[in-house]
Amino acid sequence: MVLLRVPSKLIREFKTMRTSSFHLLKPPYSPSVSSYRSRTYCSALVSYNGSPAAVRFCKRARFTKRSEANYVNSAFCTVAQSSNEADIVRSLADKASNKPFIITTPLYYVNASPHMGSAYPTIAADALSRFQRLQGEKVIFITGTDEHGEKIALAAAVNGRAPKEHCDIISEDYQSLWKDLDISYDKFIRTTNSRHEKIVDEFYRRVYDKGDIYRADYEGLYCINCEEFKEEKDLLEHKCCPIHRKPCDFRKEDNFFFALSNYQKELDGLLSSDSKFVQPNFRLNEVVGWVKDGLRDFSISRAAVEWGIPVPMDVKQTIYVWFDALLGYVSALLPEDLEPTLENALNAGWPASVHIIGKDILRFHAVYWPAMLMSAGFPLPKTVFGHGFLTKDGLKMGKSLGNTIEPRDLVSRFGSDAVRYYFLKEIEFGRDGDYSEERFINIVNANLANTIGNLLNRTLGLLKKNCDSRIGIDSLAVASENPVRVAAAEVMRTLKEDFSRLQFSSACEKILSIATTGNVYLDDRAPWSLFKKGVTSAAEAAQDLVTVLEAVRIVAVALSPVTPQLSLRIYLQLGYSVEDYLSLSWEDTNWGALKEGRVMPEAQPVFKKIEVQNSVDSESATETAPIWNQWIFYTIDAQQMGDMSVQQT
């Protein structure tokens, strides 16, 4: 099930729909804030059946203006039946409200520089953001850095820095890497920002006033890398953390606790009623298991940690890093011209559409975070997507383990498109995946250089030789039963769903299949021979070239969320401008854009094959130009491609 807010004035119309039942009640986690607690809240259980009234109702569902957004007499519309129906209704309501599509990555811990394990979910979030922009959505893509806690203070001390200086350096390192990887984020939040700290303070006081924070002594085993107390039954031999493979320390201290156990019933209900809240489905099963085992209150302060936000009720203690960092998703939304209050942040677009996070922090996002929001009376994120680990030598890739792959090294050697494509195409998002450089090179060469790049180049070569680089017929004139056109249409029927569900590997495979069909078609038709057989055959050959070029154009649009620079270069090769590329929408994946008379520029490689260096030359190879970039590429900045105003908060 999904929760949708609608104005109460629509309740009357809602009652006239063919519904299974209709009842009013006050939900256990109302989204009201302090001054609105007396408002009336409704819950309506509807069997969505596609009736005109239902569709009309959902289309009219919208938030009020910012001054009253989310809080005027509201209704919760819980739409059951199939997940597709729920998606339809949720989409209609969000579009009618002009609500932004909010995508978040984790806020990355700045104990060390970023590695491929942190780049991976950011690339995925960027691909989803670009896809949603093509859909016409108003996207707010949030990323940032988590900068408080004991581990940060220790890392700073080891490097001979003050904690804030250390955070500044590593946070800048992240932002620089995101630029190298063409990450088109909208908001970059740092948890040391004073506006964020005010949001955390207000939230803490709100939950305390609710009665969900209390003080008690705590003793147990603590993993400094997880910043979390551990149950002994969950540890490995010698009381080692199963994630970081390092011994946990025994600690006893006076702490403040969050009463997570108060939300056992609510979390049970959420997980059983909304199958989309945690994705993929097997991750949902994990979370359900945790909750069914019984929720235990957890410590949300640290008596021995100085580097953090002070607890409002005892400034000698600091707020637990996770109770602090999760609120970065909210504080990132704060408009710069408004006071840093929870109300202003929430009114800027909350809740998040999807949190993209690693499975190792799933418990924090799928159990702790919704309970915290329920306590404060705020809406919950729509989906928490837990991706798998990138592994090396069978172990999770991580800074704490010292077995990372440096993403800057990959980008400098192979280019951002190659890195983005390999990790999204080759690893099913949600599952674990092991990195192999040999496979990386083979996949990128076969898919991008050969299947797509070579298809475009040889077709443009034939067009220049036989047609003076001019399109001789509208692509719409290509028969609807043409195998290439059929292949493109088949892919486009399901591709939107793949991207929406973060099934990037499937999406890339399908897009690649269009180019594969184009290659087979070109070989079967052999237009180079037809051009020699007279006027009629030459006309057929010219149409064959248009068919293939239109297919490559569609590939460029469809693949642009994954390989933005490659897609741009393809578009330029097809005679379009940068402005044409930046104005693309998902509608441009429809067949028929290439028109008669368009002139193509001189063919240039859009993706040059990666040359494998011999082991003898490997040392000297690092001193030469990157092997992927020994020719001129036209590139544009990720911010320009996203057409956005990036804000650091």
Mean pLDDT, to the nearest integer, of 91-102? 72
Highest mean pLDDT among 210-219, 441-450, 605-614: 441-450
Residues 109 and 68 in one domain: no
The one-letter code for the residue type at 408 is R
Place of tokens 């979370």: 287
Asked whether residue 70 carries a pLDDT value surpassing 50, the answer given is no
Residues 66 and 189 in one domain: no
Q: What are the pLDDT digits (tens) for 155-187? A: 999 999 999 999 999 999 999 999 999 999 999
Q: What is the pLDDT of residue 193?
A: 98
Residues 197 and 334 in one domain: yes
Asked whether residue 54 carries a pLDDT value surpassing 50, the answer given is no
Asked if residue 510 is part of any domain, the answer here is: yes
Asked if residue 513 is part of any domain, the answer here is: yes
Asked whether residue 55 carries a pLDDT value surpassing 60, the answer given is no
- Whether the CB-CB separation of 269 and 251 falls below 8 Å is answered with no
Which of 96, 120, 141 terminates a domain? The answer is: 96
Asked if residue 645 is part of any domain, the answer here is: no
Asked if residue 312 is part of any domain, the answer here is: no
Residues 91 and 142 in one domain: no
Asked if residue 441 is part of any domain, the answer here is: yes
pLDDT band (50, 70, 90) for residue 4:
very low
Asked whether residue 37 carries a pLDDT value surpassing 70, the answer given is no
Asked if residue 633 is part of any domain, the answer here is: no
Which stretch of 16-20, 103-107, 494-498 has the lowest confidence by average pLDDT? 16-20
What radius of gyration do the chain's Cα atoms show?
Answer: 27
Asked whether residue 232 carries a pLDDT value surpassing 80, the answer given is no
The one-letter code for the residue type at 485 is R
% of the chain residues with pLDDT over 90: 68
Q: What is the pLDDT of residue 94?
A: 60
Residues 393 and 458 in one domain: no
Give the CATH number, domain containing residue 247: 2.170.220.10
Number of domains in the chain: 4
Residues 528 and 462 in one domain: yes
Q: What is the pLDDT of residue 149?
A: 94
Mean pLDDT, to the nearest integer, of 486-494? 98
Mean pLDDT, to the nearest integer, of 567-578? 97
Q: Pick the residue with more confidence: 642 or 498?
A: 498
Q: What is the pLDDT of residue 234?
A: 74
Q: Is the dihedral of CA 428, 434, 435, 441 positive or negative?
A: negative
Nearest to 252 by CA among 303, 316, 321, 320: 303
Q: Pick the residue with more confidence: 62 or 136?
A: 136
Q: What are the pLDDT digits (tens) for 521-545? A: 999 999 999 999 888 899 999 999 9
Nearest to 562 by CA among 120, 184, 185, 126: 126
In angstroms, the CA 198 to CA 84 distance is 40
Mean pLDDT, to the nearest integer, of 15-32? 35
Q: What is the pLDDT of residue 203?
A: 98
Asked if residue 467 is part of any domain, the answer here is: yes
Q: What is the pLDDT of residue 102?
A: 99
Q: Which long-range contacts (CB under 8 A, 24 or more apart) does 337-346 make?
A: 340/194, 340/195, 340/196, 340/198, 340/199, 341/198, 341/199, 341/202, 342/33, 342/199, 342/202, 342/203, 342/206, 342/376, 342/378, 343/33, 345/199, 346/33, 346/70, 346/378, 346/379
Mean pLDDT, to the nearest integer, of 69-79? 33
Residues 287 and 341 in one domain: no
Mean pLDDT, to the nearest integer, of 22-48? 32
Give the CATH number, domain containing residue 594: 1.10.730.10
Nearest to 628 by CA among 565, 571, 575: 565
Nearest to 305 by CA among 261, 258, 256, 340: 256
Which of 302, 331, 362 terminates a domain? The answer is: 302
% of the chain residues with pLDDT over 70: 77
Give the CATH number, domain containing residue 177: 3.40.50.620
Q: What are the pLDDT digits (tens) for 386-427? A: 999 988 766 666 656 667 789 999 999 999 999 999 999 999
- Whether the CB-CB separation of 486 and 520 falls below 8 Å is answered with no
pLDDT band (50, 70, 90) for residue 231:
confident
Q: Is the dihedral of CA 44, 50, 52, 57 positive or negative?
A: positive
Q: What is the pLDDT of residue 250?
A: 76
Which of 47, 68, 96 terminates a domain? The answer is: 96
pLDDT band (50, 70, 90) for residue 230:
confident
Mean pLDDT, to the nearest integer, of 192-211? 98
Residues 80 and 132 in one domain: no
Q: Is the dihedral of CA 492, 495, 497, 500 positive or negative?
A: negative
Residues 453 and 544 in one domain: yes
Q: Pick the residue with more confidence: 14 or 255?
A: 255
Q: Pick the residue with more confidence: 398 or 463?
A: 463
Residues 138 and 79 in one domain: no
Asked if residue 530 is part of any domain, the answer here is: yes
Range of the structural domain that residue 42 is part of: 2-96
- Whether the CB-CB separation of 181 and 410 falls below 8 Å is answered with no
Residues 478 and 613 in one domain: yes
Q: Is 646 left (phi over 0), alpha (psi -120 to 50) or beta?
A: beta
The neighbour count for residue 203, using CB atoms within 10 Å, is: 24
SS3 29: coil
Q: What is the pLDDT of residue 64?
A: 32
Residues 62 and 110 in one domain: no
Joined together, the tokens standing for residue 575 give 């005679």
Which stretch of 149-153, 241-245, 330-334, 396-400 has the lowest confidence by average pLDDT? 396-400
Q: Pick the residue with more confidence: 114 or 52?
A: 114
Asked whether residue 630 carries a pLDDT value surpassing 60, the answer given is no
Global confidence as pTM: 0.81
